[in-house]
Amino acid sequence: MGKGRVRVKGAKGKRWRKGQSGLSNPSDVSHRQAARGKFGDHLSRDKRASAPLTAEALARLHTTQEELDRDGDVDLEISSSAGTTSAASSSALTLIETSHPVFGTVRKLWNSPTESHRVICAVLAAVSDVVRSQDGRNTETEYYGALMSVLESCDDEKSVAAICYLLCLLIPSLPSEVLQVKYSTSCKILTEQLTRHETSSSTALLKSLVRALGLLLEAQPASVWSDSHCQKVFQNILNFTVHPKPKLRKAAQAAVVAMLREGSASGEPHTAAPPTARHCRHVIDRGGETATLHVLGMLRECLANFPALV
């Protein structure tokens, strides 16, 4: 071992003298001396002498101290108002934490800096307060009724998006009987909001509306699907399956696929299968390359749920 190594002379540089390797301070301290010479220059005697402590300096110090004292009074007022805000914030957090378990995701958004998340928390706190003030039992049906009532009279895009987001969390846990009984009213409210905000630039708003409508239609029996209004609502969802915005398009496609699979689970093709097939055929016949690719991606997920002759 070591036969191929070549030792370079002087590679170790300066060595310690025998018996001196334990010294903490070497003899060469030129760098330390240079640093020590510059240390404290800003507090040197000459500079301190150029700025003596005078009566004028004391007067300026006294004036500055008075201004700081006045600012301190303002800070106390701000702190008092901040304490009130903190109490209200704590109350809202309590309402969210004691809301229905299906809104567990919202609790994670409490400390989020995103404005849309703060609106969601505010809406849930307000709805929880309404349910509690009416001596409710904190059930899914009570929250559903409260959210739909608020949505009916709401015009603000951010609030509508927050309400629909909460509805998307809530609807899967609702009994199908409730969704079937409240179908006409709920569908009317959701379609009106979708028509009102159809040209909105908010992807979150449109995505939540489409998802909520899809979940509502998914729970309806075959007798409802024979209604022309229901088919028109479903066609609106189909139109979003080729939307240029990816998140909105995927939400619409997922809603359509979920409905078709729900029907196939019962042993019979869903009533929505024929209109879905016609929509896909129409898009492909138009020849648009991008739209065709979007439709083919959806067909890959739901083609097995079509009837034999469609």
Cα distance between residue 42 and residue 190, in whole Å: 71
Contact (CB, 8 A) for 111 and 103? no
Q: What does pTM read for this prediction?
A: 0.68
Contact (CB, 8 A) for 116 and 89? no
Give the residue among 246, 304, 248 at the shortest CA–CA distance from 277. 304
Give me the tens of pLDDT residue by residue for the chain, a chain 310 residues long: 556 565 555 555 566 667 666 666 556 666 666 666 555 554 444 444 444 444 555 555 555 555 544 544 434 333 334 444 444 566 777 777 777 888 988 888 888 888 999 999 999 988 988 888 887 788 999 999 999 999 998 989 999 999 999 999 999 999 999 999 999 999 999 999 999 998 899 999 999 999 999 999 999 988 898 888 999 999 999 999 999 999 999 999 999 999 988 866 666 788 888 899 999 999 999 878 899 999 999 999 888 888 765 5
Query: Helices 183-196 & 157-170, crossing angle to 10 degrees?
Result: 140
